[in-house]
Amino acid sequence: MFGRLGAPEIILILVVIILLFGAKKLPDMARSLGKSARILKSEAKAMKEEGRSTSAPSPAPGEQPPAQRTIQAAPGDVTSSRPVNEPTDTPQR
């Protein structure tokens, strides 16, 4: 059903999108879509790193825990920022 999209069909879809949303709104929509993709990518990366850090052994009593920093998903977006553990360059014992 959907596997037969050729050039005329894609052009028709693009024309309908431009007519529905208007040419002025399309750059803003593309910008917000890119911002959402960056946020999703950074959150997925943070979740992967968080999963790896939870399986790591805790520091010895004489060592300091790794410093925390705050990652922001997008510049100026403070609502979705959260603290994360910063990996250190020193080897774990």
Proportion of the chain above pLDDT 70, given as a percent = 55
Longest Cα pair distance anywhere in the chain, in angstroms? 69
Q: Which domain holds residue 32?
A: 27-52
Whether 57 is covered by a domain: the verdict is no
62 inside domain: no
User: pTM of whole model > 0.85?
Assistant: no
Given this model, what pLDDT does residue 71 score?
60
What total number of domains does the chain contain? 1
In this structure, what are the phi and psi dihedrals at residue 58, rounded to the nearest 5 degrees? -75, 155
Select the more confidently predicted residue: 61 or 14: 14
Kindly state whether residue 1 falls inside one of the protein's structural domains: no
pLDDT of 70 above 80: no
Give the C-alpha separation, 35 to 63, whole Å: 39
Identify whether 41 is part of a domain: yes
Whether residue 48 lies inside any domain: the answer is: yes
d(CA 18, CA 12): 10
Q: What are the tens digits of pLDDT across the range 16-58? A: 988 888 888 888 888 999 999 999 999 999 998 888 876 655 5
Mean pLDDT value across residues 3-22? 88
**Residue 71 lies inside a defined structural domain of this protein:** no
**33 found inside a domain:** yes
